[in-house]
Amino acid sequence: MTVLGTLVDIPTADGTADAYLAHPDDDRPHPGVLLYQDAFGLRPHLKSMADRIAEAGYTVLVPNLYYRSGRAPLVELPELIDIEQCGEIFAQLGPLLGPARDPQIAARDAGAFLAWFAGSPLVQDGPIGATGYCLGAYLALSTAAAHPDRIAAVGAFHGGHLATDRPDSPHLGAGRVTAELYFGHADQDESMPPEQIARLDEALTAAGVRYRAELYEGAGHGFTQADTTRYDAVGDARHWSALFDLLKRNLPA
């Protein structure tokens, strides 16, 4: 299937968010998928991921969550990001991450993105899916709780800090979630240790949420991101299979 990729602007309460849009080139509406970035932001690798989902028959939006500071890219990245040697990059990303992770700001942004889906002729009527990576997994889960009537499925991969002791931890919104959830946890991930995985499972089970959580053995935080040194090809292939199974069950293309 031929895919078209373009840049779009989305009005928000705080300005205009630039975003990458990928969709089948057939002039027909398709189920929508909101793809949330990791900390490194909107870049060629995330665009290629959006294209792959669009090839399966979906209209995919990847917003620049750092739009308050400018259009993407805001930080110059190498072709291969060495996670162990990127202190300077993280120093630049630090000020951008705060607003993106703020629950109130994230909920406002999600509302704007969902409004764009609702108004686009490229998107079928009805709920959409969301998938997120690292930071994006945190936001995808938060969006499912903040907008339960709009999110039918969430794929969350190597997410961090999903079930902390903080009063705004996303696992505390489990009772509002109506979507089916899938979690692909990296077992070498200090940001999502076993106690948080257990706390997340307990919250979802108690709330009666439909979900599946799997531990990707030997995988580190960021294992799906092929432009970083944490990339794991086996884990990435497994992630694609799980994501497409989830989307097909809830949003058949």
Q: What pairs with residue 181 in β-bridges?
A: 154, 211
Neighbours of 181 (CB within 10 A): 23
**Per-residue pLDDT tens over the stretch 179-236:** 999 999 999 999 999 999 999 999 999 999 999 999 999 999 999 999 999 999 999 9
Q: Is the pLDDT of residue 67 over 90?
A: yes
Q: What is the pLDDT of residue 1?
A: 85
Q: Identify the domain containing residue 49 by its residue range.
A: 3-250
**Per-residue pLDDT tens over the stretch 103-152:** 999 999 999 999 999 999 999 999 999 999 999 999 999 999 999 999 99
Which strand (E) or helix (H) includes residue 119? helix 103-119
Catalytic residue among 30, 171, 185, 189: 189
The answer to whether 25 and 4 have CB atoms below 8 angstroms apart is yes
Q: What is the pLDDT of residue 126?
A: 96
pLDDT (mean) for 87-110? 94
Instruction: Output the domain CATH number for residue 211.
Output: 3.40.50.1820
The answer to whether 183 and 156 have CB atoms below 8 angstroms apart is yes
Q: How far apart are alpha carbons 49 and 62 in whole angstroms?
A: 10
Q: Does the annotation mark 134 as catalytic?
A: yes
For 164, residues 6+ apart whose C-beta sits below 8 A from its C-beta are: 196
Q: What is the pLDDT of residue 48?
A: 98
The answer to whether 131 and 35 have CB atoms below 8 angstroms apart is yes
Q: What is the pLDDT of residue 150?
A: 98
Q: Is the pLDDT of residue 245 over 90?
A: yes
Total domains in the chain come to 1
Q: How far apart are alpha carbons 243 and 156 in whole angstroms?
A: 9
Catalytic residue among 30, 171, 185, 221: 221
Catalytic residue among 30, 109, 134, 147: 134
Q: Does the annotation mark 189 as catalytic?
A: yes
Q: What is the pLDDT of residue 226?
A: 98
Q: Is the pLDDT of residue 77 over 90?
A: yes
The region that residue 96 occupies, defined by phi over 0 for left and psi between -120 and 50 for alpha, beta otherwise, is alpha
**Per-residue pLDDT tens over the stretch 155-176:** 999 999 999 999 999 999 999 9
Q: Does the annotation mark 86 as catalytic?
A: no
Alpha carbon of 3 to those of 23, 27, 54, 172: distances in Å? 6, 11, 7, 38
pLDDT (mean) for 40-63? 98
Q: How are strands ordered across the β-sheet holding 3-12?
A: 3-12, 15-24, 59-63, 32-36, 128-133, 151-157, 180-188, 211-220
